[in-house]
């Protein structure tokens, strides 16, 4: 009893594979609720641009854009997270996830792009305006840089923040202070 | 795709007239106005910095993050059950919807089949949450523009709806009603009878509210053509929910990709062509009526039977057994302290929340905690459109626009 993407037509995936040979690195259908299509970073904009209007697919709606830290440096991961983190060989560190929705065909796919720390992923702001803030959020919390983004700066956190908190090697209790932060004084009955 | 509507054309001519007039009188009289983060007319801690020429906003920049509590990070260090109360704190106007969207993703990961009664109770919860959320949105939107009576009518009914949530789970805002594979408790006696009595009363009040505001000249003048977003823009900005349907896109996840029991109830999906504040208001008012219609069907069709899925991995032991048998007590403690193991996999179960698509993307590498928990919050996408919609409007209109997209800061900043 695990998650599966039954109900998704295999024939459609075969067609997609045939149409985008060279662009699609792999299609994963096990242990996921919708097919995961891996694309190389340099081809992602072209692929997403093309699949918007490709007949039979029409994935024209960017439902969500996010990322996760797939292969963190395990020696630096805090204890509380060691259970779920493990070394994944030489797999790239970050995975950027695009959730696409087809309004016409009413189905969804998940497109992923892998990137190492410091590597740039092309921005999709030229295709969807919503990608602007979403990519800023990924940059803020994971430090994945997006090439050709018009305004890539922090969105959730203060501009002076050091580090990227959703990385697995960032401790959840770590806090940061600045010169103008108010001094924490004891308030109460004691002097 | 969409022809320019009359409203937009009119608005553009009005805009250019205004610009000319202002340019003559106040040449280079641009000043920066900062609204928020602590401002009574801002819905939560939002900040909008505007560059105004006279009273017309020429450029604006939104800032968020004042309520950022790292809920996604917390999701990675808490077990699946421990995270349920955090979902209440996202969109606190429709906490039940968040509870349901979250546990559905976990259930999908674990391959749990829900019993019928559970599915129908969850459908009912979603619709009560939708009514409350829409009442708050239209009520506060009108209140910001000065229509206080409308707001009080709405809030009186919202209070009545909260009574039902209170009967379900004992609390009003922070519900934590769902469990993975089940619910906190079954419906109390006479719940559905009371609910259908209230629905009769409520549909009269909603008609009254409709008569009070929809044809009101002041309201129409303040909202028609304000905050216009074209169909292309709405799609490009990934708007979902009532705001998307107000921009002439016929899409509703409940109807087009059914989940829970939505394929067994009848309802209509309203769409409008204006894409402005007024049309968003109309869509919300119509959706409240449709929710009432769905709730009536739920009251009739509610099946009997268990509310818990028959799955040993996630079943919480009954309280009388916990207190009377040692094995159950051990099971109880292990369950809540260590959590249950979730198989490897990824799941994203989007639902049509009151505001738009609500979904939790969970990546699991096994074990009792999520490896990555992403919250797809509609407010984040809505707030992004404010810059575009506010260009050329006055500051007073900006307040109307922010009210109409219904931004909840808890969900926006996560």
Cα–Cα dist A187/B157, whole Å: 42
Provide the angle, in degrees to the nearest 10, between the axes of the packed helices B277-301 and B116-144: 150
- Count of structural domains, chain B: 1
- CB-CB under 8 Å, A4 with B76: no
The pLDDT of residue A88 is 79
Q: Say which residues have a Cβ less than 8 Å from residue A166's Cβ, sequence separation at least 6.
A: A69, A141, A142, B72, B73
- Rounded (5°) CA angle B324-B330-B332: 85
Residue B318: HSE in the Cβ half-sphere, 13 Å Cα cutoff: 7
ipTM field: 0.88
The pLDDT of residue B55 is 83
Burial B224-235 (b: 16+ CB within 10 A, else e): bbbbbbbbebbb
* pLDDT, mean of each 10-residue run, chain B (414 residues): 52 54 60 83 82 85 88 89 91 90 91 91 92 91 88 90 90 89 89 91 90 88 87 90 90 90 91 89 92 92 88 84 87 86 89 90 88 91 88 87 87 87
The pLDDT of residue A186 is 58
**How many inter-chain contacts (A to B, CB under 8 Å) are there?**
121
Global confidence as pTM: 0.87
Shortest Cα distance from A87 to chain B (angstroms)? Answer: 12
CB contacts, 8 Å: B235 with chain A: 60-61, 103
The pLDDT of residue A191 is 44
At B138-180, the pLDDT tens digits run 998 998 888 888 889 989 999 999 999 999 888 888 888 998 8
Residue B56 lies inside a defined structural domain of this protein: no
Cα–Cα dist A32/A10, whole Å: 14
Residue B188 lies inside a defined structural domain of this protein: yes
- CB-CB under 8 Å, A60 with B238: no
For residue B58, which of B104, B9, B109, B15 has the smallest C-alpha distance? Answer: B15
Cis peptide before B37 (omega within 30 of 0): yes
* B253 touches A: beta carbon within 8 Å: no
DSSP assignment of A71-118: S--GGGS-GGGTTT----TT--SEEEEEEEEETTTTEEEEEEEEE-TT
Residue A157 lies inside a defined structural domain of this protein: no
According to DSSP H, which parts of B112-260 are helical? 116-144, 148-169, 191-213, 217-223, 231-236, 242-246, 253-256
Which regions in chain A score pLDDT beneath 50?
Answer: 189-191
According to DSSP, the residues that pair with A113 across neighbouring strands are: A96
The pLDDT of residue B99 is 92
- Cα dihedral across residues B105, A5, A142, A134: positive or negative: negative
The CATH number for B323's domain is 1.10.645.10
Torsional class of A22: left (φ above 0), alpha (ψ -120 to 50), beta (otherwise): left
The pLDDT of residue B10 is 56
For residue A29, which of A52, A48, A13 has the smallest C-alpha distance? Answer: A13
Cα–Cα dist B222/B255, whole Å: 32
CA of B358: how far to CAs of B171, B213, B348, B361, B374, in Å? 22, 29, 10, 10, 11
Residue B345, SS3? strand
Residue B81 lies inside a defined structural domain of this protein: yes
Residue A27 lies inside a defined structural domain of this protein: yes
- CB-CB under 8 Å, A31 with B413: no
Residue B310: CB atoms within 10 Å: 10
Supply the range of the domain harboring residue A141: 10-147
CB contacts, 8 Å: B365 with chain A: 84-86
The pLDDT of residue B310 is 86
Residue B312 lies inside a defined structural domain of this protein: yes
- Tokens 């996560």 belong to B414
- CB-CB under 8 Å, A133 with B380: yes
Residue B63 lies inside a defined structural domain of this protein: no
Cα–Cα dist B333/B317, whole Å: 10
Residue A112 lies inside a defined structural domain of this protein: yes
Closest CA in chain B for residue A156: B65
Residue A140 lies inside a defined structural domain of this protein: yes
Tally of residues, chain B: 414
The pLDDT of residue B2 is 43
For residue A41, which of A168, A167, A148 has the smallest C-alpha distance? Answer: A148
Residue B178, SS3? strand
- Tokens 């796919």 belong to A109
- CB-CB under 8 Å, A81 with B374: no
Burial B290-302 (b: 16+ CB within 10 A, else e): bbbbbbbbbbeeb
The CATH number for A58's domain is 3.30.460.80
- CB-CB under 8 Å, A106 with B376: no
- CB-CB under 8 Å, B251 with A99: no
The pLDDT of residue A161 is 87
At B17-32, the pLDDT tens digits run 555 555 555 556 788 8
According to DSSP, the residues that pair with B61 across neighbouring strands are: B49
**Token output for B73:** 């990070």
Cα–Cα dist B80/B336, whole Å: 10
**Mutation for B interface: A3, A59, A170, most B CBs within 10 A:** A3
- CB-CB under 8 Å, A86 with B384: no
Q: What distance lies between CA B278 and its chain's CA centroid?
A: 19
Residue B47 lies inside a defined structural domain of this protein: no
Supply the range of the domain harboring residue B167: 71-413
- CB-CB under 8 Å, B111 with A2: yes
Residue B24: HSE in the Cβ half-sphere, 13 Å Cα cutoff: 5
Query: In chain A, which residues touch B (CB < 8 A)?
Result: 1-4, 31-34, 36, 60-64, 66, 68-69, 80-81, 83-86, 97, 99, 103, 106-108, 110, 128-130, 132-134, 137, 141, 155-158, 165-166, 172
């Amino acid at each position: 009893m695990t998650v599966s993407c039954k109900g998704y037509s295999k024939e459609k995936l075969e067609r997609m594979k045939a149409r985008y040979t060279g662009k699609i690195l792999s299609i994963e259908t096990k242990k996921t609720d919708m097919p995961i299509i891996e694309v190389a970073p340099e081809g992602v904009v072209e692929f997403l641009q093309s699949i918007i209007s490709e007949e039979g697919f029409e994935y024209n709606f960017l439902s969500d854009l996010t990322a996760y830290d797939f292969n963190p440096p395990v020696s630096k991961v805090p204890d509380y997270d060691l259970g779920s983190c493990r070394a994944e060989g030489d797999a790239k560190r970050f995975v950027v996830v695009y959730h696409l929705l087809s309004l016409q065909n009413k189905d969804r796919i998940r497109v992923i792009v892998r990137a190492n720390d410091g590597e740039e992923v092309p921005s999709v702001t030229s295709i969807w305006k919503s990608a602007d803030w979403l990519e800023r959020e990924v940059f803020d919390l994971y430090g994945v840089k997006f090439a050709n983004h018009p305004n890539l700066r922090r969105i959730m956190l203060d501009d002076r923040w050091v580090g990227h908190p959703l990385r697995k090697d960032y401790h959840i209790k770590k806090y940061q202070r600045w010169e103008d932060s108010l001094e924490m004084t004891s308030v109460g009955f004691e002097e | 795709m969409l022809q320019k509507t009359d409203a937009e054309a009119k608005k553009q001519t009005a805009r250019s007239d205004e610009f000319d007039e202002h340019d003559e009188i106040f040449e280079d009289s641009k000043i920066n106005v900062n609204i928020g983060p602590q401002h009574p007319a801002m819905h939560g801690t939002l900040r909008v910095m505007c560059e105004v020429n006279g009273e017309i906003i020429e450029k604006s920049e939104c800032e968020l993050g004042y309520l950022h509590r790292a809920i996604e990070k917390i999701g990675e260090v808490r077990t699946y059950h421990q995270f349920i109360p955090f979902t209440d704190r996202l969109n606190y106007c429709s906490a039940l919807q968040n509870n349901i969207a979250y546990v559905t993703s976990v259930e999908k990961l674990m391959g749990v089949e829900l019993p019928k009664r559970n599915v129908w109770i969850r459908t009912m919860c979603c619709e009560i949450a939708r009514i409350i959320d829409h009442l708050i949105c239209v009520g506060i939107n009108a209140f910001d523009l000065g229509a206080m009576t409308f707001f009080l009518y709405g809030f009186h009914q919202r209070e009545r709806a909260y009574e039902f949530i209170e009967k379900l789970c004992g609390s009003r805002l922070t519900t934590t009603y769902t469990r993975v594979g089940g619910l906190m408790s079954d419906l109390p006696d006479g719940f559905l009878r009371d609910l259908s009595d209230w629905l009769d009363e409520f549909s009269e009040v909603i008609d009254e509210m409709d008569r009070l505001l929809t044809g009101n000249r002041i309201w129409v003048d303040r909202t028609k053509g304000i905050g216009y977003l074209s169909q292309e823009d709405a799609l490009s900005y990934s708007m979902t929910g009532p705001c998307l349907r107000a921009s002439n896109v016929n899409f509703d996840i409940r109807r087009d990709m059914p989940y829970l029991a939505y394929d067994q109830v009848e309802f209509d999906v309203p769409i409008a062509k204006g894409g402005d504040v007024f049309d968003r208001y109309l869509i919300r008012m119509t959706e409240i009526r449709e929710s009432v219609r769905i709730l009536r069907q739920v009251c009739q069709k509610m099946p009997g039977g268990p509310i818990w899925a028959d799955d040993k991995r996630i079943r919480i032991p009954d309280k009388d057994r916990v207190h009377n048998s040692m094995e159950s007590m051990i099971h109880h403690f292990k369950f809540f302290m260590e959590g249950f193991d979730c198989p490897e996999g990824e799941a994203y179960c989007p639902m049509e929340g009151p505001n738009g698509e609500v979904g939790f993307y969970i990546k699991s590498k096994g074990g009792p905690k999520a490896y990555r928990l992403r919250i797809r919050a509609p407010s984040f996408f809505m707030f992004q459109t404010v810059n575009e919609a506010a260009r050329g409007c006055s500051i007073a209109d900006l307040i109307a626009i922010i009210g109409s997209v219904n931004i909840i800061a808890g969900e926006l900043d996560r």
